[in-house]
Amino acid sequence: MTSSTAVRTRRVSGAFIAAACAALVVTGCVSNEPRDEETAAAGPVTTTENDEPGDEVVIGFSAPAADHGWMGAITAAAEAEAEKYEDVELRVAEGTNDVNVQISQIEGFITDEVDAIVLLPFDGAALTEVALEAMEAGIPVINVDREFTSPFAARTTVLGDNYGMGVSAGTYICEQLGDNPDAVVAEIAGIDALPLTTDRSNGFKDALEDCGLDVDARVAADFTVAGGEEATANLLSAEPEIDAIWNHDDDQGIGVLAAIENAGRDEFFLVGGAGSSDMMEEIQSGDSVVQATVIYPSTQAADGVKLARLIAQNKTIGDLASIGVPRTVQLFAPVVTADNVEEYLPIGFDS
């Protein structure tokens, strides 16, 4: 597949309003519709010398299919970010969960000699070789979310903090239940085969141990609404009394809430994961079991676009004393509660 068949080109123009470069914290799955581009790009904005127009930069962008809300928000935010710069042409490949198709897309970008590639791989290991090819061709690759297996396959890597998500969720639950050593804590994970799920669970377990709690019951779903509902129904059937639940993923959280409603249970509070607008609205309502959610930024690819532009133009991140763009940027995993939900709602994504 060449770029002519796999990529649609959009020349971006508009105001040069830009968010702070490497520390943006944005977003969070039932409909697959992300918030509109204006909302996806919302948040604190600053203008720096880096935002002044420079040499034109052509950036290739490839990500998996937008088959759930968080992934849809990833692409929407990347496109919205690129539109802020008149010197950026973003070539967006069609989202795909076929690694061979995604490899072909990157090969097309290499043939076209783009200035940089922002790549959220469906499978980091499977895309490592073609990313290495791009780097060897002199095209900097910005790896997003799912890491390659070689440190030489990317100029810069932008990551969420999966272990930190678990720590944030566990710390919050400790704050609520730490004086009750007999509290029953449950966990609804995502796909157990994924390293990110292991990281989230390990962070959660470690944080709970600090206040003398542990995970009393655990089930795994699959990041889908149906999977979340089934796993939660099984959990509630097996556990007659629960004090707190952490659900790894707000997209599957829609099914989690359906199962809770069907079971007529409300003796516990629930902490979500990712930061969807759906869960934030549940928090805001004040009459839901959802008491908090932990952000897993859907702005990672948007940050990747910003960094790709800086790298291609040989610029440095503002506010850093060091020259150049860092090799790794890991974003924060804050907890959203009723106290700060208004701040985070603009960066939420629709499940």
Cα–Cα distance, 247 to 232 (Å, whole number): 9
CATH superfamily of the domain spanning 3-160+298-331: Response regulator (3.40.50.2300)
Q: Class assignment of domain 162-295?
A: alpha beta
What is residue 351's predicted lDDT score, i.e. its pLDDT?
A: 86
Task: Please name every residue paired with 142 in a beta bridge, in sequence order, or none if there are none.
Answer: 118, 156
| Residues forming a β-bridge with 10 | 90
* pLDDT (tens place) for every residue of the chain, 351 residues total: 434 334 444 333 333 233 333 333 333 333 333 344 444 444 445 567 888 888 999 999 999 999 888 999 999 999 999 999 999 999 999 999 999 999 999 999 999 999 999 999 999 999 999 999 999 999 999 999 999 999 999 999 999 999 999 999 999 999 999 889 999 999 999 999 888 999 999 999 999 999 999 999 999 999 999 999 999 999 999 999 999 999 999 999 999 999 999 999 999 999 999 999 999 999 999 999 999 999 999 999 999 999 999 999 999 988 888 999 999 999 999 999 999 999 999 999 998
Dihedrals φ, ψ of 244, to 5°?
-155, 145
Instruction: Considering the chain, tell me which residue range(s) the CATH 3.40.50.2300 domain(s) occupy.
Output: 3-160+298-331, 162-295
d(CA 181, CA 197): 26
Which residues, 6 or more positions from 179, have their beta carbon under 8 angstroms from its beta carbon? none
Say how far residue 166 (Cα) sits from the centre of its chain: 14
Pairwise CA distance, residues 95 & 278, whole Å: 24
pLDDT at 49: 80
In whole angstroms, give the CA distance from residue 21 to residue 288: 35
Contact 22, 329 (CB under 8 A): yes
| pLDDT of the residue at 46 | 52
- Give the pLDDT of residue 67: 85
How high is the pLDDT of residue 53?
Answer: 87
Handedness of CA 244, 248, 253, 256 (dihedral sign): negative
